[in-house]
Structure 1
Amino acid sequence: MKKLKNIKPRWFVFICILIFLALGFDSRLQVTYYRLVSPKISQPIRLALITDLHSSNYGKNQIQILEVLEKEGPDVILLGGDIFDDELSDRKTLELLSGLGKFNHTYYVSGNHEIWSNRYDQMLEHLRQQNVVVLSGNSSRVDVRGQSITISGIDDPEYFQKYDTSESLLDQLEDIKGKQISTDFQVLLAHRPELIDTYQKYGFDLVLSGHAHGGQWRVPYLVNGVFAPNQGFLPKYAGGLYEVENSHFIVSRGLAKESTRVPRFFNRPEIIIVDLVNP
């Protein structure tokens, strides 16, 4: 009897540890929803944000991602950088792009790994072949159900060091600001979240980013990310919705799996759905 009493608590602890680890390393795709209210919106508009795929595998022909998009029916799809990877094959990204061909209004901005790849020109060609609009310091006015919103995008900072030393991120933001239509809801797509203090000076209603990978390891309700590139330990902007000055700021935890050297923990890969609605 004495032995049984000692064994039961040990098994209970062991089972609890297994459950904790199973939950922590759960890598199933998650859909995260945000609802933003603005007087600039007269009819609901749905955005889908996909970041940091890093050529990861989400089933045959990326069916897991495409099924989410088909179910959610976004009006605009935004690819927030590092959709390709600098080390992994482009195959899974090309499968996704092929599937995105059926959707209208798909936009892309560069991420640091795409710039590092030495294949960036080739990647841009793949994007354009699938009618993805590449935003590089410019804007596109999108008409949805009789109303317009403006989608702007800037390059990753690495771009200016490798491809265009005559221009800077600030130059791109200034160019965008000079062409803004004040009555439109203004969206900025920018890969790096740590630069939000710069972005918010330019009058955007919504800024969308990735790059931080959710801080890689998270502790629910306690720590929203342990480490993120360019932010370091306990990053301020690892993932979620933030309010900065008069604008909303959303950081996606992204979709990276195979390319990460440290596995995600309590940090499921995500696609973000943003509903823009009238008050």
Structure 2
Amino acid sequence: MNTSSASLPGGTWTLGDSSVTRFGYGAMQLAGPWVMGPPADHDGALAVLREAVGLGITHIDTSDAYGPRFTNELIREALHPYPEPLFIATKVGATRDAQGGWPTARRPEDLRKQVHENLGSLGVDTLDLVNLRMGDAQGPRPGSIAEAFETLVDLRQEGLIRHLGVSNVTAEQVAEARGIAPIVCVQNMYNLAHRHDDDLVDHLAADGIAYVPFFPLGGFTPLQSEALSRVANRLGTTPMSVALAWLLRRSPNILLIPGTSSLAHLRENVAGAGLSLSDEDVAELDGIGH
């Protein structure tokens, strides 16, 4: 499978020992409604994954909890054997219940089970990156992450994981994790309207650690802002394109993982992220989250 990242906006970032495209792809939306069950269009989901790699994307974000299992199995069906530059990040720390909820599952035995489930569904012997998801659906929660993170460190030492990251965490939990073992990324909610991690983004950039915003377009509550709409109208584009372009410009360590189950939206996201924003545009947009 031939890939070329020459046309992707944002260039590349070194994630651990791999160079990945800053514009990546989040696979969560490939599952059914509320991230449960199979996709409505199985072949369409495979086509989106193959197009992502065909466009040159080398960073795919997933989890065995999506579906559960369906998203990982789609990735395997569409892309295995995986092309050499492809870097697949997954996450552990939550499971699914019959109502579609995300109950936490962070005991050592839970985490070991989830890592092995991700290995099996993706069809690999070693996971490129495992993010430990903390907190809950409402966001980060204070408290020590040591026991859970140390379990993943043990699994890395066993050769089942190459790199570690943390997700849905406070700045204090990031510091705690880094005191235990190196991390290559932090994955938190962050976008034009949610700027609470501004200081953390800059701190991580200085240390060469990636920041991967989930819900870069607002997630289940899409971004809505008069300023965002004004800038988009002025540039003759969509608010979502402006939001993605702003994130890439915000800091060189920000890696995008917007998700979609549509080929057209995938291409629109790639094109939109490459939008050129003026200093005046950025100043107007910066006012949204402050």
TM-score range, shorter chain: 0.3 to 0.5
Q: Which has the higher helix share?
A: 2
TM-score (norm 1): 0.47
Q: Which has the higher strand share?
A: 1
TM-score (norm 2): 0.46
